[in-house]
Amino acid sequence: MTQKSLKEFGLEFINEMAKDRKVAQQEIGVVVSGTKSTLIAQGLPHFSYQDIDTLIKTVRKDTARVVDSELTRITIKSLGRIREVLSESAIIIQDEASLEQENELVQLRESNLEFKTQIKEKNTELKQLESEKADSFTQLAEKTDQITALEADMKRVQSQLENQQKELEVHQTQSKELINELEMNQALIEKLKEKELIHEKDIQEALASVAETYQIQENYYQRMLEDGIQSRTKEIRREMEIDLEEMKKKLETQNTRLEDATRQHKITVDRLEEATKIAEEELLETQAELSKAITERLEKNVLLDYTQRLLSTHPLYASILILLNLGGVLDLSTLAMSVGAHPLKLKQMLGDLVTKGLITISSDDPPTIAAVMV
């Protein structure tokens, strides 16, 4: 290979590397453009943080794949051309041109280094672009949160407006009901007036009171409505609704309480009168029964005491009482001594009780008398 052919080979090699570099840049540009088109097509506010992270990883992966494939293709292509040149003929380098050829090789190395430096710069630019994209996604996320908060506020305000509108409608309905109730009261008063159930003066006072009350309420609520139209119409209507509802509830509660109290008072009075009568009758009956029971008890006690005293004078009954009081077992001589009778006489008296099985007399000396406990 001559110096001229070597120089031409080097120039062609440099030109082809430059072309390959442009092709790599174009492919990277296609990847970035595709990513941008994807963002625009899907809409930035609809990206989540996970989608953004996945998109950044995809861009990095595609860029690395393009760079690796282009570097591999350039290296293989360069090695192929060198192999073709070497296979064509032997390389004959003239001694006098060796220095110039070495300079050209140095330039080729420098060009290769410059190409690598440019690739590093492009990689740096890609990283900066990714960082800017990440910042943009962060800003978009913040804007999305702000928009979401504003939408929530708008929904809340809209809900408040709808609630106030409903309250206004309810207030209007209650106002109509109050007017109808007042008209019914007036009609009832007129009817009572026709039947002469109330005096004319009372009717006029009642009508005047009702009209004055209604006029005062109407003026008050009309003034509140007029003031509220300029500033807070819906809020004042809600307050009017609450006031009317409270007045109605208070009136109903008072009427109910009055009716309940009257009815309960009457029931209580009737029950008290009935209970008083029953208690008086029961008291008289109880006093009579108590007096009778006390009298009978006193008579029984007196009779029992007299009977016991009378029986205690007889040796037989006296010995039985002593036997029972001393535990039911006692010897005959001691018992006879207690009642002041002879032992044989007392044993004879107790014979009927032995026959009936009420007591037992042992054959000991002295005999022992024991009461039979059933």
Smallest Cα–Cα separation from 62: which of 42, 34, 23, 20?
A: 34
- φ, ψ of residue 333 to 5 degrees: the values are -65, -40
- Residue 345 has a pLDDT of 85
What distance in Å separates the CA atoms of residue 109 and residue 62, rounded to the nearest whole number?
29
Amino acid at 362: S
Smallest Cα–Cα separation from 221: which of 178, 160, 161, 255?
A: 178
- Residue 82 has a pLDDT of 62
More confident residue, 346 or 218: 346
Sheet containing 368-371, strands listed edge to edge, beginning at the edge strand earlier in sequence = 329-331, 368-371, 359-361
The pLDDT of residue 90 is above 50: no
More confident residue, 349 or 35: 349
- Residue 92 has a pLDDT of 44
Amino acid at 248: K
Task: Respond yes or no on whether the N-terminal peptide bond of residue 366 is cis (omega within 30° of 0).
Answer: yes
Beta-strand relationship, 359-361 and 329-331: unpaired
- Residue 179 has a pLDDT of 75
The pLDDT of residue 359 is above 50: yes
Find all residues with CB under 8 Å of 185, minimum gap 6, and list them: 210
Residue indicated by tokens 């009717």: 203
- Predicted confidence band of residue 227 (pLDDT cuts 50, 70, 90): low
More confident residue, 297 or 196: 297
- Residue 228 has a pLDDT of 61
Structural domain spans, the chain: 3-161, 165-257, 314-371
Architecture of domain 314-371: Orthogonal Bundle (1.10)
What distance in Å separates the CA atoms of residue 218 and residue 211, rounded to the nearest whole number?
10
157-186 pLDDT, tens digit per residue, is: 778 778 777 877 777 777 777 777 777 767
- Residue 283 has a pLDDT of 76
pTM score > 0.85 for this model?
A: no
Residue 239 is given by DSSP the state H
Residue indicated by tokens 């110096």: 3
- Which of 11-25, 45-59, 239-253 holds the top average pLDDT? 239-253
Q: What is the mean pLDDT of the chain?
A: 70
Q: What is the mean pLDDT of residues 5-17?
A: 58
What distance in Å separates the CA atoms of residue 302 and residue 117, rounded to the nearest whole number?
141
* DSSP codes of every residue in 15-36: HHHHHHHHHHHHHHHHHHHHHH
